[in-house]
Amino acid sequence: MIRFDSDYMAGAHHEVLEALVATNMELTVGYGNDPYTAETKALIREKCGQPDADVMFLVGGTQTNATAIDGILARHEGVLAAESGHIAVHESGAIEASGHKVLTLPHYDGKVSAEDVDNYISEFYADATYQHMVAPGMLYISQPTEYGTLYSLKELEALSATCHKHNIPLYIDGARMAYGLKAEGADFTLRDIARLADVFYVGGTKCGTLFGEALVVTNRKLLANLFPLVKQHGALLAKGRLLGVQFGALFSNGLYERIGEHAVRLAVRLREAMRRAGYEVVIESPTNQQFFRLPNDVVDRLHESVSFDYWGPRGQSESVVRFVTSWASTDEDIITLEHLLG
């Protein structure tokens, strides 16, 4: 069985695992107050070009989103997001559980437009009853999106400018950031992300670590008391150094870049194989998630030896499916698939 269901099916990249094994029997203080974590935070600040940023390591994506958004918003505010956004759909109500409404915007293959954000906020305050409605207090976007698509630098700049024009912060969920930074035609850098977002996170779980997300706060007054907030959200890892060590490996020796390049290269190869086999590419995704329209008998036949996600029916006899590559995917996986598509 070859597997393209998701990018969190294996353990950790071997360089990350080796760092964990090498430090396993060291004794350090808990909760991220250890030297490994301090060193990795400095490394991330440097990679981001943000010497004054606060960096905090959390365990998972839903947790990171819920903690940051809860800390940023005032009680009467909600968070703007694409109606396809992870926080709007797939977090079991974690944002609402901390008291905040997700205010949804239309999405274009997973992306929101600066124009829609601008209009939403302008129309909100133009409504005579706006004080009876939930105020838009921040914007959440994911880069890459849940559909594998990517904002261009120009789009990111427009979103950031629109947010700041309306005096709300921009938050970027970078769960799959590695696969975005090395996507086909990607024209933005981690420094651009850090410059344009007020708060963002760089994902580890899907990009090479066992688990973990690095939250970066460039606009520090937004999250002035991050430590107790993270603890309160149950998101503070006792053995915090495990995060420092893993992200240390991830951001050393170009590993994060290599991971991104590898998965994207395989995703492109996979897409070409599908195209050659005559199947429609449903979303133009330059990253590690690829969406195809397949006849149902092909889906059934492939499923005998390949796992991938079912996204929904298209008419009577076809379906949309998702294939995901990761740092753990191999050229052999693709060759096998090419053969099956034969």
| Residues in 240-259 at the binding interface with its own copies, rule: CB under 8 A | 242
Strands 199-203 and 170-174: parallel
Q: Which of 45, 206, 271, 322 binds its own copies (CB under 8 A)?
A: 206
In terms of Cα–Cα distance, which of 67, 36, 100, 68 is closest to 217?
Answer: 68
User: How far is it, in rounded angstroms, from Cα 25 to Cα 21?
Assistant: 8
Q: Residue 100, interface with its own copies (CB under 8 A)?
A: yes
Tell me the closest approach of the beta carbon of residue 116 to its own copies, in angstroms: 17
SS3 of residue 282 by DSSP: coil
Q: Which is nearer to its own copies, 83 or 184 (CB)?
A: 83
Instruction: Work out whether 331 is an interface residue with its own copies (CB under 8 A).
Output: no
- Site membership for its own copies, residue 299 (CB under 8 A): no
CB of 196 to its own copies, least distance (A): 26
Burial class (CB in 10 A: 0-12, 13-18, 19+), 184: middle
Task: Identify the residue among 117, 215, 328, 334 touching its own copies (CB under 8 A).
Answer: 328
Query: Binding to its own copies by residue 234, rule CB under 8 A?
Result: yes
Judged by CB under 8 A, the residue of 38, 43, 135, 283 near its own copies is: 135
Using rule CB under 8 A, residue 283 touches its own copies: no
Rounded-to-integer distance, Cα 283 and Cα 290, Å: 7
Q: How many of the other CB atoms lie within 10 Å of CB of 296?
A: 14
User: CA angle 151-155-160, nearest 5°?
Assistant: 110
Site for its own copies in 13-52 (CB under 8 A): 14, 17, 20-21, 23-30
Q: According to CB under 8 A, which one of 51, 52, 92, 167 is a site residue for its own copies?
A: 92
